[in-house]
Amino acid sequence: MCKYTLTIIKPLAVKNSHVGEVLQMINVDGGFRIAGMKMITLSRQQVKEFYKVHKEKPFFDSLTNFMTSGPVVVAVLEKENAIEEYRKLIGKTDPKEALSGTIRKLYGINIQANCVHGSDTPENAIKEIQFFFSTSEIFDEEGNLIDVSIT
Ligand code: ATP
Ligand code: MG
């Protein structure tokens, strides 16, 4: 069981001023501790690498354009069984199919601009966290630096 997952609050949610509400749902309502967080813009190369499992999909170019269209917020989230718990909190990929009360249902616009990303396996969570964060950017509850790959 993995304690950590990675989320990305996607460009349209940042543009539409939903960062505060989404973080409230994650941190306060959802009980995830925020172990690391920053606002960045992604390069096309970063998006292509991050979403490389989808490189043959018809939506890959469109997804690359979308994910580079403005700043995103990336965060490392901690909770017992974080990956599954977070996928539950965000809901299905298509906001139309997501259960009511989920982040994607509330703030997703369509299947592409679905507000947030969430890691899908422990292996991917660690890889994705290391893709965006160095070991000097992730903290435990006391503020000490942690290495998510060995906890
Ligand atoms: P994520 O990986 O972002 O958490 P997910 O695991 O629910 O989402 P994936 O199948 O991994 O869904 O798709 C990755 C992302 O690609 C989706 O979050 C969405 O932004 C985009 N996407 C997925 N399917 C489509 C589609 N049919 N049309 C357009 N964009 C899509
Ligand atoms: Mg996915």
Does CATH place domain 4-146 in 3.30.70.141?
yes
| 4-9 vs 72-78, strand pairing mode | antiparallel
Which pLDDT does position 81 carry in this prediction? 97
Inform me whether the pLDDT recorded for 32 exceeds 90: yes
Inform me whether the pLDDT recorded for 51 exceeds 90: yes
Closest CA to 73 of 49, 44, 107, 38: 38
Mutate to test the pocket of ligand 1, among 62, 63, 90, 131 (most ligand atoms within 8 A of CB): 63
Domain ranges of the chain: 4-146
Ligand 2 centre to CA of 73 (Å) is 17
What angle in degrees, to the nearest 10, is found between the helix axes of 82-90 and 122-132? 80
Q: What is the pLDDT of residues 136-147, one digit of tens each?
A: 999 999 999 999
Q: Average pLDDT of 21-38?
A: 98
Inform me whether the pLDDT recorded for 22 exceeds 90: yes
Mean pLDDT, the chain, whole residue set? 97
DSSP state of 102: S
Q: What is the pLDDT of residues 107-128, one digit of tens each?
A: 999 999 999 999 999 999 999 9
Which pLDDT does position 37 carry in this prediction? 98
Which pLDDT does position 150 carry in this prediction? 82
- State whether the beta carbon of 111 lies less than 6 angstroms from ligand 1: yes
Inform me whether the pLDDT recorded for 1 exceeds 90: no
How far, in Å, CA of 13 to CA of 129, rounded?
Answer: 21
Closest CA to 126 of 35, 1, 34, 2: 2
What is the phi/psi pair of residue 8, to 5°? -125, 125
Which pLDDT does position 49 carry in this prediction? 98
Ligand 2 centre to CA of 150 (Å) is 24
